[in-house]
Amino acid sequence: MKKKFKISYWMVALLFFTMVFSISSCKKDKIISGEKVQLKMMTDTLTFDTLFVSLGSTTKYFTVSNPNKEAVEIGKIYLKGDAGKSFRISIDGDTTNMAQNVIIPGKDSIYIFVEVTVDPNADQLPFIITDEVVFETNGSKQNVILQAYGQNAHFYNGESIETQTWTNDLPYVILNSIEVLKGHTLTIQEGVTVYFGGNSAMYVNGTLNINGGVDSVDWVTFRGYRLDKQVTGVAYDQLPGQWTGVFLMRESGVHNINHLKMRGSQFGLNVGNTTLEGLNTVAIENAPTLKISNSEIYNSSSYGLFGFLGKIEATNVLIHDVGKNAFAATLGGIYSLTHCTFYLRSSNYFDHKEPAVYASDYHVYNSQRPALLAQLDLKVTNTIIDGTAEEEIIFDISTNGQMKSRIENSALRTREGLPNDVISLNNLINEKIDLENTAQSNFHLKEGSILIDRGKNMGVLFDIEGKARDEKPDIGAYEF
């Protein structure tokens, strides 16, 4: 009997606790009321970086927390201002600009997601738009300010253009690439900034002239169009590969670029590109010519300056922080590099293994067909070719190739040395060159640098910053 009684007791006890649990589970959380009930906002102001008009923003969010043990019912959440004309909100997953009777359980939170699109106006300078997300709870009101900076711009979306001049009245935004038609010229004046959308490029079948000013604020700038930051706080503008690059196509004209700052592309500035069908007609006679001076290219995920049987005259050009080569030439071409600084190192975005300068006289596009061959004519004077790798300059010459190359009064980092058929005069090989701070992309010469007064007078009167060079110029893009 005793054993039987104990079993019945535990069965009753189990039934009792099951009923209590079921009743408590079905019971609704107590909702507190009163004007003193306050919500906890993650921020009092949600700010969007400058946005181009008509282009939507990335999504930002903030949380709204209930610090109480009991649930709180928000009577209404809504946008105070333009009711979704510029700002749009999503309340805990529901896309709506107004919600009622939203319950936040005790010690819990909800998410408010926000997007914004800025309407155009007549302003040339950036302008600000604002709104508020308002929370009405038991007769009290709280709010979070929304603010965004807008910028009007000239937009080009997958267009082919004829002759025109871009001036510094508004920024230029290129979406889905742009083409300069054959026989036409695009001229870009000082102070212009061109923003490229993802996977966008500039293809020039005509002529490109860039006339940046000497003062750094008057340089022309090519960069990606993302003006915001990643969740880590790093600006997208600091990342490589934000847009495709600039391509001066086969049979285009003579291009002049002065004072250009170009960053964040995939393939940099390219000279002599063609289609697959046009490979059979590629020759030095139909190569475009680029004359580039006083310019900087960096944060390209592949190349800085690339020639494909092209013609390039580069003077006072600084190229750094690229993923592959600062300067690369394939299938030969005619190249002159004077007072340039090419310096590569590893970083958060690049594992530096490729040489700063690569030059070849051939191109293989089909393993079933012979390689294309053309003469390489490369002249390097007063130039820094350096970095953190043991080999920063490579000549990749075919057995049947012809090469006319001359390097003089330059600072080179090389383990293997130069080929025998490269004329080498007065070069500094594997010397400590003493640049100011390469880790912070400062490539000025330190006082006492071995590069000071070691250049050859080539008639280049000024350095990349407009500083006068003397009769004994320094090696590199900067004069001490």
Task: Using the CB atoms, write b or e for 8-38: b if 16+ within 10 Å.
Answer: eeeeeeeeeeeeeeeeeeeeeeeebeeeebe
Question: 135 with 164, same domain?
Answer: no
408 within a domain of the structure (yes/no): yes
Task: Out of 105, 132, 150, pick the residue that ends a domain.
Answer: 150
Neighbours of 216 (CB within 10 A): 12
Reading the block at residue 143, the tokens are 């709010």
Q: Are residues 138 and 186 in the same domain?
A: no
CA distance 447 to 469: 16
Report the pLDDT value the prediction gives residue 79, as an integer from 0 to 100: 92
In terms of Cα–Cα distance, which of 85, 141, 140, 71 is closest to 116?
85
Provide, for the chain, the percentages of residues in helix, strand and coil under a 3-state DSSP scheme, each rounded to the nearest 5. Answer: 10, 50, 45
pLDDT score, position 369: 82
pLDDT for res 229: 81
User: DSSP characters for 57-92?
Assistant: PPPEEEEEE--SSSEEEEEEEEESSSTTSSEEEEET
Place of tokens 């005793």: 2
- Position 223 in a domain: yes
Q: What is the dihedral of CA 53, 54, 59, 62, to 10 degrees?
A: 60
Tokens of 309: 């049987």
Among 150, 171, 191, give the residue marking a domain's end: 150
Q: Is residue 320 part of a domain?
A: yes
Q: Are residues 223 and 96 in the same domain?
A: no
169 and 138 part of one domain: no
Let me know: does 311 contact 448? Beta carbons within 8 Å. no
Does residue 413 contact residue 392 with C-beta atoms inside 8 Å?
yes
Per-10-residue mean pLDDT of the chain, 480 residues long, equals: 38 38 47 75 90 85 93 92 79 87 93 90 80 90 91 94 97 96 98 96 98 96 90 87 97 97 98 91 96 98 98 98 97 98 94 96 86 95 97 92 92 95 96 96 97 98 97 98
Residue 460 lies in a domain: no
73 and 211 share a domain? no
Distance CA 75, CA 346 (A): 55
Do residue 200 and residue 233 come from a single domain?
Answer: yes
Judge if 138 and 160 occupy the same domain: no
Predicted pLDDT at 26: 39
pLDDT value of position 155: 95
Does 158 lie in the same domain as 205? yes
Asked if 393 contacts 354 with a C-beta cutoff of 8 angstroms, the reply is no
Whether 195 and 301 map to the same domain: the answer is yes
Identify which of 191, 183, 188 has the alpha carbon closest to the alpha carbon of residue 164. 188
d(CA 471, CA 480): 13
Cα–Cα distance, 95 to 320 (Å, whole number): 45
CA atoms of 336 and 422, how far apart (whole Å) = 14
- On whether residue 78 sits in a domain, the answer given is yes
pTM for the whole thing?
0.85
Helix (H, G, I), strand (E, B) or coil at 274: coil
Query: What is d(CA 74, CA 84) in angstroms, rounded to the nearest whole number?
Result: 20
Number of domains in the chain: 2
Which residues in 87-199 belong to E strands, given as ranges? 87-91, 94-95, 98-104, 109-116, 127-137, 140-151, 154-161, 164-166, 172-180, 185-189, 193-196
Whether residue 215 sits in one domain with residue 123: no
Q: Give domain status of residue 3, yes or no.
A: no
From residue 444, alpha-carbon distances to 183, 449, 465 in Å are 40, 10, 11
Which of 182, 76, 50, 185 is CA-nearest to residue 138? 76
Residue 401 is predicted with a pLDDT of 75
Domain that holds residue 179: 154-445
Longest dimension (CA), the chain: 118
Locate 307 and state its tokens.
């020639």
Report if residue 124 sits inside a domain: yes
For residues 227 and 94, state if they share a domain: no
Q: Which of 125, 150, 175 is the last residue of a domain?
A: 150
Which CATH number does the domain housing residue 88 bear? 2.60.40.10
How many CB atoms within 10 Å of residue 251? 15
What three-state secondary structure class fits 399? coil
Q: pLDDT at position 8, please?
A: 42
Which tokens in the block code for residue 467?
A: 């500083």
Q: Are residues 95 and 230 in the same domain?
A: no
Q: Is 15 part of any domain?
A: no
